[in-house]
Amino acid sequence: MELASLRIADLKSVPIWRYEYSNGKELIEKTDMTELSDSKGYMISDHDYTHIVLTEYCLNNKAIFWGYSSIEDACDMEYVEPVIILENKHLNFWKAHLNGTEGMQSFLSELGYTESEVFPIKAKSLVMYNGQTIHMIITSFRNLISSMYDKSFQETIT
């Protein structure tokens, strides 16, 4: 299945999908996993695939959106690649950044909010990784702060 056809209902029914980039296409496949861990050997550095997981995004204006992210290497935007799914469109923060001002403005226009209404975004994966929930604060199209579950994030995410 191509990634572009993934919808929120798909993610809510199957919260972990196998993702790979092959022959110029982004492909996904359902999994039966309920959580991820290093011990299962799913790190993208070891394989030609990773996983995307159901993720909740709370914009600065408190609007809630659903989408996905890749939490197995939650060190920066390029690896996490957070995405908000609208009815018929995927809004990828990192790709918007790569497309410069035009890409970022298009992203905001599709979302229907200004940059100050959007950032910072508080996000959390709804799948456990190594027994922890991954929380992120996305400060801009190119920056995020991620953390395994800790008390300071608990109050910030709905």
Number of folded domains that form the chain:
1
**Rounded Cα gap, residues 123 and 125, in angstroms:** 7
Place of tokens 């008390």: 151
Mean pLDDT, the chain, integer = 86
Please state the rounded mean pLDDT for residues 61-69.
97
Pairing of strands 35-36, 121-129: parallel
Could you give the residue ranges of the DSSP H alpha helices within 52-99? 77-80, 93-98
Distance of CA 21 to the CA centre of its chain: 16
Give 71-80 pLDDT, tens digit per residue.
Answer: 876 666 667 8
List the domain range (segments joined by +) for residue 124.
3-154
* Amino acid at residue number 5: S
**Distant-in-sequence, close-in-space partners of 77: CB < 8 Å, separation ≥ 6:** 93, 94, 97, 138, 141, 142, 143, 144
pTM across the whole model = 0.87
Distance CA(55)–CA(70), nearest Å, equals 9
For residue 67, the cross-strand partners are 55, 84
